[in-house]
Amino acid sequence: MLFSVPSVSPWPIKYRIIMKKIVTIVGARPQFIKAAVISRLIRDEYSDRFNEILVHTGQHYDQNMSDIFFEEMDIPKPDINLETGSGLHGQMTGRMLEKIEEVLVDKKPDLVLVYGDTNSTLAGALAAAKLHIPVAHVEAGLRSFNMKMPEEINRILTDRVSSWLFCPTDTAVTNLKNEGISGKQNNSEPVTSDNPVVINIGDIMLDASLYYREKLESVKPGVEIPEKDFILCTLHRAENTDDPERLRSILGALNEISKDIQVILPLHPRTKNKIAQLSAGHSSLFINNSSFEIIDPVGFFDMLRLENACSMILTDSGGVQKEAYFFKKPCVTMRDQTEWVETVEAGWNVIVGADKDRIIGAVRSYRVPQEWPVLYGNGDTGTGILDVLFN
């Protein structure tokens, strides 16, 4: 007697799916915001396919990461906090390596997921690679081509040991190809760091920006938005704040620009102290215009409000450059290079360094481009990442 084989398995789908265990490594508040996109998807839509363990290295102590932060941002609290603290780069990375390795030996994940370019990113990738655990890197392939930036070193090393390289742009894919990382060459072989998946998956921060923009109305404002036009400025990068000449030049430019239009600068206490040291306690040497307003640091939602309401953004932040583009705001970047070259090529971003005259000139001569090309995907990057990892 012949037996026919049913064309459809008699077992329900949930019994045929093999769960994958992910350890996600984050170390700073911006990484939590990025990781939350994936964590929410796992919790809401992929719970039958993935089990995630969220590990916070404690690289940046942030008093704003209170219960209300996790509640408002709809972010799962870390399952493990390593509390490594700050310090010199080697010291921090070494402590993280040791503690992350202990977690990975104990939890035995199928893969480790890392974001961006912090010391936590590098430590997570190295710890996993040395234990032969595959690494997935979100925001792979970004390059400033400035090896003096610690972030550049972290990016390059993390990309080299990753098995999945999730790039936010075509430029990032090209950067990897130029370094000899061109993607999976042998489809019959498993995914490894020598046979990796390289894909332009879009930008995870676009997913986050769209999600949190919808929640703005439900979160009480913590900042007053001016009714007239204003420029939003952020200033935190060490290459600017730790160099007296660059800092003096930038402040002089902002003070001059504020004669034409209000400038709002949310400023971290560390940068405030640098300004105080530079001016011997007399900040009026650099800030002598009432339209130049320095305010305390703002939370993520208030930053979105300011970005949405402003006329232009001046920044030395990588993330804020992208958010400016998401909000269709002109951006003047006070750095010598940028990882987000697409925004420059599209005409929405101008790189001026720390030169006073170039900053003032860029602001006063800027003309908004007529076109706004789609550069960073459609806001479904998180879903794409999880589908690739599972399949």
Task: Kindly list the catalytic residues.
Answer: 236
φ/ψ bin of 328: left (φ > 0), alpha (ψ from -120 to 50), beta (otherwise):
left
Residues 6+ apart with CB under 8 A from 366: 312, 330, 332, 350
Q: What is the DSSP string of 251-297?
A: HHHHHHHTTTSEEEEE--HHHHHHHHHHTTT-GGGT---TTEEEE--
Phi, psi angles (nearest 5°) of residue 52: -105, 135
Write down the number of H helices and E strands in the chain. 16, 13
- Map residue 219 onto helix, strand or coil: coil
End-to-end CA distance of the chain: 38
**Interatomic CA distance for residues 144 and 138, integer angstroms:** 17
Note the residue count of the chain. Answer: 391
| Cβ-contact 23, 103 below 8 angstroms | yes
72: left (phi over 0), alpha (psi -120 to 50) or beta: alpha
E-strand stretches of 30-130? 50-56, 80-81, 111-115
- Comparing CA positions, the residue from 14, 16, 76 lying closest to residue 48 is 14
Provide the strand spans (E) within the chain.
Answer: 20-26, 50-56, 80-81, 111-115, 135-138, 164-167, 197-200, 230-233, 262-266, 292-295, 312-315, 331-333, 349-351
d(CA 346, CA 29): 29
Q: Which two tokens stand for residue 163?
A: 């098995």
Q: Return the SS3 of 158.
A: helix
> Would you state the structure tokens that stand for residue 41, as one six-digit string?
């998807």
Is the Cβ–Cβ distance between 18 and 40 less than 8 Å? no
Q: What is the DSSP letter of 192?
A: B
Tokens representing residue 71 in the block? 């509640």
Say how far apart CA 86 and CA 60 lie, in whole Å. 6
